Amino acid sequence: MMNKTIEKNINYEKCKNVVKSLNDYYKGNKDLANIEFPSNIIINSHEYYLYIFYSCLLNYGMRSKVYNQNLINTYKDVPNLFNPNYIITLNEESLKSQLIKNIHPRYPNVGTRKWMELSKQLIQYKNLPDDLKILKSIGELNEFIKGIKGYGRKTGNLLIRMIRDSKICNFTEEIESIPIDRHDIEISYLTGITNKLKLNDKEIEDLSNAYVESGNDLNISPSNIDKYLWELGATLCTKKKCSECPLNIYCKNVQNKSKEV
């Protein structure tokens, strides 16, 4: 049961209803919110993990599937864009032109700086599988990612989830929190889990904890809940596909539209 501080900000029962509905809708779908890989990458190789680090860096959830396909096409045509030793030989303008031409980042200037800084961090790792194998907890993986820097709450957790799900690390524990972005907050507001759209850091933490605790109560993996929210936002909410949404019975937008008819 959630503590009283969280209960003031979060409708826990509605959160559980939302999590159950999401699980009923998406359960068994293995293609949710995952990064697809180029066919010529060997699974769990050094290049495989380099690709994961780069692909998560600018994956904000918006048009995620288009972004992932751009990455796959780029790896086929210009694989050096995923090689940190090559990237650090470029100036930013040259890198920016290649990223715009091939990957089409949403924010080219920011994306270029992030891509370059990540490359400078990654050159210190000669064999990422060996570095990841020694990590013994989700906390150690979190610290590893924080040490590399460049990732926000959403992109960082996607990276953590992808590495954790690859089973390379020496642990089986679940992710400890679900990263909450503005789309998750909007979904939570529209379904009545929260009563406002602007949340402070403590309220965002409470919301994350509510989703995790709901999953624990319902025996649903927090990693899967994160995938469900990511998929819902990217493929339904942003495309206004309300009639297909598993949460439309709770959604204020749908209810308001019904009243207008």
CA quadruple 129, 130, 131, 135: dihedral sign? positive
pTM score, two decimals? 0.80
**Rounded CA gap, 19 and 62, in Å?**
21
**Rounded CA gap, 39 and 32, in Å?**
19
Q: Of 32-41, 68-77, 110-119, 200-209, where does mean pLDDT reach its minimum?
A: 32-41
Judge whether residue 167 has pLDDT over 70.
yes
Please state the separation of Cα 119 from the chain's center in Å: 20
pLDDT tens figures, 47-93 = 999 999 999 999 876 567 788 899 999 999 999 999 999 999 999 99
Q: Mean of the pLDDT values across residues 187-210?
A: 93
**Rounded CA gap, 220 and 218, in Å?**
5
Q: Of 8-17, 59-68, 248-257, where does mean pLDDT reach its minimum?
A: 59-68
Judge whether residue 144 has pLDDT over 80.
yes
Judge whether residue 105 has pLDDT over 50.
yes
**Rounded CA gap, 144 and 140, in Å?**
6
Closest by CA to 19, choosing from 160, 253, 222, 255, is 222
Give residue 31's pLDDT.
72
Percent share of the chain, pLDDT over 70: 93
To which residue do tokens 């380099």 refer?
50
Q: Mean of the pLDDT values across residues 199-207?
A: 91
Q: Mean of the pLDDT values across residues 151-165?
A: 87
pLDDT category at 220 given cuts 50, 70, 90 is very high
Judge whether residue 5 has pLDDT over 50.
no
